[in-house]
Amino acid sequence: MRKIRQVIGTDRFSLEEFFAHAGFQAGTSISGGQRRDVVDALATVAWFRHLRGRSQDTSPYAIGRSVEPDAYWKTEERVRFHRNKWPKYERGKHRPDAALTNLAEQVYPGSARELNSALWRFLKKIPESSKALGELEQLLEPEVRLQIARWQPRIQASKNGSIGRLATAFERIGTVDALTAMLILCQSARLEGRTAQAHEWTLYIYRCMLMLGSFWMSRGIARPLFELIEQRFLKEVSHLGCRYSFPAVLYGQAIGKLESVLWHIKDAPYHLMSERQRNRYTQRILDGNFGWDLKFAFNPYETLLSSDSASEATAESCLRKMRIFVWAWNMLHSYRAHPNMPPSSVFDGTDLTARRTD
């Protein structure tokens, strides 16, 4: 029988709380560049949770023994000895070396790819050249690279709707590599000065993070990873004085409420859906097919970088989008479904549910 062990809910930790949990010193910079990077801690926690999810026992001791049994022994007096390193992997305090990663891969195939994902390489040092981006792209799964090769020429030629079509393909794939591809293409556009395209990509990056929310929750890093991606990368991407945003404090709630919506879809039992089917239904929810309140609550909204960096029209547009976002979340918190377009009083701010959160 599989033993049940209480697990710390690191998935809902803020990035600051995760820093403390993983043993970083107070005041450690979020921007990176140190010898020990929080990206390594996040990758290690996710890797350990991957092993735990496939192990017959959830304790660090048992998982370590299954990976490297020779490191666990008894003396003639039957006293047990082992290196007490696996609890440190559980907390992200140390990253496993290549030799241990290979041992784990033999017992739990696929775990090494997760630990060495191109996503971690991107976040640890944001690429600053097309060459570096190209090298990361080659690490992505073939299906993702095929979609890039198919749509990249149209994107480079600024064909209308091409980013949306490629992003839709990535969302349907719904993997970590699909998210990484979005980050790579966003940074590529940013480096080349195509700010409108980079800005558009951030919309889909936020959407993809929500679509992968349950996966990141299972890996124990949902909110801290969300905050890291936003602080290290997304906040640097803007166009005409505004950028997309989604409150980190609502990310965990959004994951749970999205799962609830998926569970209650008629004629589509959640437990019978494949991952691709869930991705397609999630796309439809985000696109407004299941109600405008859900669309506006689950998608990011545009916010001003500063009142001096945008035109009056842009400032007013951002204000209206923020009001709709607040209204949508108040609808979710009140459990009052509002599938239709919100009334005009929401847009102009006279409706109080568009001016404060419950």
Per-residue pLDDT at 346 exceeds 70 = yes
Predicted confidence at residue 225, as pLDDT, reads: 98
Predicted confidence at residue 227, as pLDDT, reads: 97
Report d(CA 252, CA 209) in Å as an integer: 11
Which residues have a Cβ under 8 Å from the Cβ of 345 and sit 6 or more positions away? Answer: 351, 354
Predicted model pTM = 0.91
pLDDT tens, 148-170? 999 988 887 777 888 999 999 99
Predicted confidence at residue 350, as pLDDT, reads: 75
Which residues have a Cβ under 8 Å from the Cβ of 240 and sit 6 or more positions away? Answer: 195, 310, 311, 314
Q: Which of 73, 59, 63 is nearest to 96 (CA)?
A: 63
Report d(CA 18, CA 169) in Å as an integer: 32
How far is the CA of 20 from the CAs of 27, 91, 224, in angstroms?
Answer: 10, 10, 12
From first CA to last CA, the distance across the chain in angstroms is: 44
Lowest mean pLDDT among 31-45, 100-114, 239-253: 31-45
The two beta strands, 301-304 and 242-245, are: antiparallel
Predicted confidence at residue 271, as pLDDT, reads: 85
* Averaged pLDDT score across all residues of the chain: 89
Lowest mean pLDDT among 71-80, 214-223, 277-286: 71-80
Q: What average pLDDT does the segment 36-60 reach?
A: 93
Indicate left, alpha or beta for 22 from its phi (over 0: left) and psi (-120 to 50: alpha).
Answer: alpha
3-class SS letters over 29-41: CCCCCCCCCHHHH
pLDDT tens, 89-124? 999 999 999 999 999 999 999 999 999 999 999 999
Q: What average pLDDT does the segment 73-79 reach?
A: 56
Please give the structure tokens belonging to residue 198. 């980079």
